[in-house]
Chain A
């Protein structure tokens, strides 16, 4: 946000905010607004008529039928709802429209403040290859890789020789595993390159690929940042998110057992400088892969609040969603998060994502919840929009609750999480609570011995156990 020289800096708190999202994050934003004395508008599809975010908002507008494309992703419907309710700002949550630069632009032209970074910054970080180059220029370590987009398989072969096998090709326009291929030998390259390109074009409308060195057993480490409108960007430490299944995070924690204070400070400083130069504003998360030498390599940046933000909130004591709102309203970082509050990390926090899925087959389990009892007590936080007699619709993602524990150290956080998982009762649908209980009981997890392949090995072991349970001669 550039101000003309001499222009007065107008700083007004928002009177009313529309939350362009659903489920637990919509409720989370409503909580922050209530605490700030800001009125809220919920939008909902037909399927979410009885949702908690609709119930707790001051106003609610039905914007479409159940399908996301016709409701939550329907930009004209969301903007129209914002216009008829006269809101000052829109909070996009995570997923849905939160990283849609077009949406951010439409908000701007409609004179509604988009709570997030400016459209051109969203765009920059949305093009993965461009983001890599921007970070590289700022001396943020990136994985050895191609420069620019790779035109064809021949070019790919040249790059792979330079980088050294194994390599991975990735789609510049998107993620989630699509348009990605690991290439371990030159013989495989042509086929994999071409199929990755086709997949990327189909998934994202853009078949551009880039290449990176592939790390066999990486850890996923991400840094939380916040930026104000005046060039100040701060880092709030890291989260470790290596426990993943098919590129979907299951469990996150902070701090990472592998990140030293020195590394944390070093990366934090680099990110502050780099993102300030880029003009980054509001909340964001910078994702890294850590290799076996404990070196961090930038892979991508998410220009929004993330699902696992409570983990950082609990170890820093900072309300990130409130910070987003205050920053968007023109607040200065030094006023929102005074230096005194940046004491660094306190204690340890773990989050389990509770999904409405079978805990071993992972098949989605939509339906009516019969019983819903959440755990409580010291050091336990539950972020959820589910409730007894509530219906989980089949149209959206399966996250129904986030269970977060905090303790003075990792050991206490684990103990509290195990206790809380045991006392979290959900009946009527399947949930991944039993899976989390097993993970937390696993000696490797407890020792901090894991990487992004952990879940593969864990589930393979589980399957083996199940097979051995079948009685002989049955």
Chain B
């Protein structure tokens, strides 16, 4: 992608009021995040048309209206996005996020794992107490959104899960 294409891409994002955008083409990866208020972000599954992978995060509803097929992303992108809404597991308390039960131990879960509702996903330490945080959804872990050993606040997204139908 040259500078001209990049500039056009950015202008397109602004025009369509898209807040976050990720594109991988070959060994080039572009990720753009604009400073607008982010809504819970629906992440789009990789499109069948290889080699381009595009994920678009509209900042305004409804998503369908915001997107137009853009080179070289496949036109299926808006449809796929409407079907795929990921569930966010949010922190119920304030504290420090730990992905494993103890230092050096293997993490509770990793991306790709299938989890049940009620399964322990992580620990949040608050006031010297280790609180086990359980999943409120059955499905596949897509992404870990919090950093190990770092503070989290109430309502902060910790994991994104693709719900099992």
Give A residues with C-beta under 8 Å from B: 46, 61-65, 71, 76-77, 79-81, 83-85, 110
Complex: A46 Cα to B127 Cα, angstroms? 22
- Point out the residues of chain B lying under 8 angstroms from A84, CB to CB: 94-96, 151
- Point out the residues of chain A lying under 8 angstroms from B94, CB to CB: 61-63, 77, 80-81, 84
The B80-105 residues at the A interface (CB cut-off 8 A) are 93-96
The B109-152 residues at the A interface (CB cut-off 8 A) are 126-127, 151
Complex: A61 Cα to B94 Cα, angstroms? 8
Complex: A79 Cα to B93 Cα, angstroms? 11
For B, the interface residue count at a CB cutoff of 8 angstroms equals 11
Q: Which one of B2-10, B39-47, B67-75, B153-161 is at the A interface?
A: B153-161
Q: How far is the CB of B141 from chain A (nearest CB, A)?
A: 24
Question: B151 touching A77 by the CB < 8 A rule?
Answer: no
Question: B155 touching A46 by the CB < 8 A rule?
Answer: yes
Q: Which of A46, A77, A85 interacts with B93 by CB under 8 Å?
A: A77
- Per DSSP, chain B at the interface is loop
Complex: A83 Cα to B94 Cα, angstroms? 10
Question: B127 touching A61 by the CB < 8 A rule?
Answer: no
Complex: A177 Cα to B121 Cα, angstroms? 48
Who on chain A is nearest to B94 by CB? A80
Who on chain B is nearest to A79 by CB? B127
Question: A80 touching B95 by the CB < 8 A rule?
Answer: yes
Starting from the known contacts A61-B94, A80-B126, 20 additional A-B residue pairs (CB-CB under 8 Å) come to A46-B155, A61-B153, A62-B94, A62-B153, A62-B154, A62-B155, A62-B156, A63-B94, A63-B153, A71-B154, A77-B93, A79-B126, A79-B127, A80-B93, A81-B153, A83-B126, A84-B95, A84-B96, A84-B151, A85-B151
Counting residue pairs across A and B whose Cβ atoms lie within 8 Å, the total is 42
Question: B153 touching A76 by the CB < 8 A rule?
Answer: no
Question: B127 touching A76 by the CB < 8 A rule?
Answer: yes
Q: How far is the CB of A396 from chain B (nearest CB, A)?
A: 17
Could you show 6 A-B contacts with beta carbons less than 8 Å apart? Answer: A46-B155, A76-B93, A77-B126, A80-B127, A83-B95, A84-B151
- Point out the residues of chain B lying under 8 angstroms from A62, CB to CB: 94, 153-156
Q: How far is the CB of B76 from chain A (nearest CB, A)?
A: 36
- Nearest 7 A/B pairs, CB to CB: A84-B151, A80-B126, A80-B94, A62-B153, A62-B154, A61-B153, A81-B94
- Point out the residues of chain A lying under 8 angstroms from B126, CB to CB: 76-77, 79-80, 83
Complex: A71 Cα to B95 Cα, angstroms? 14
Complex: A83 Cα to B95 Cα, angstroms? 8
- Point out the residues of chain B lying under 8 angstroms from A79, CB to CB: 126-127
Q: How far is the CB of B91 from chain A (nearest CB, A)?
A: 9
- Point out the residues of chain A lying under 8 angstroms from B154, CB to CB: 46, 61-65, 71, 77
- Point out the residues of chain A lying under 8 angstroms from B151, CB to CB: 61, 84-85
- Point out the residues of chain B lying under 8 angstroms from A63, CB to CB: 94, 153-154
Complex: A65 Cα to B92 Cα, angstroms? 9
- Point out the residues of chain A lying under 8 angstroms from B156, CB to CB: 62
- Point out the residues of chain B lying under 8 angstroms from A71, CB to CB: 154
Complex: A249 Cα to B8 Cα, angstroms? 61
Q: How far is the CB of A228 from chain B (nearest CB, A)?
A: 30
- Point out the residues of chain B lying under 8 angstroms from A46, CB to CB: 154-155
Who on chain B is nearest to A75 by CB? B127
* Contact indicator per residue, chain B 42-84, by CB within 8 Å of chain A (1) or not (0): 0000000000000000000000000000000000000000000
Q: How far is the CB of A59 from chain B (nearest CB, A)?
A: 10
- Point out the residues of chain A lying under 8 angstroms from B155, CB to CB: 46, 62
- Point out the residues of chain A lying under 8 angstroms from B96, CB to CB: 84
Who on chain A is nearest to B97 by CB? A84
Complex: A454 Cα to B94 Cα, angstroms? 47
Complex: A83 Cα to B151 Cα, angstroms? 9
- Point out the residues of chain B lying under 8 angstroms from A80, CB to CB: 93-95, 126-127
Complex: A274 Cα to B11 Cα, angstroms? 72
Complex: A258 Cα to B153 Cα, angstroms? 51
Question: A83 touching B153 by the CB < 8 A rule?
Answer: no
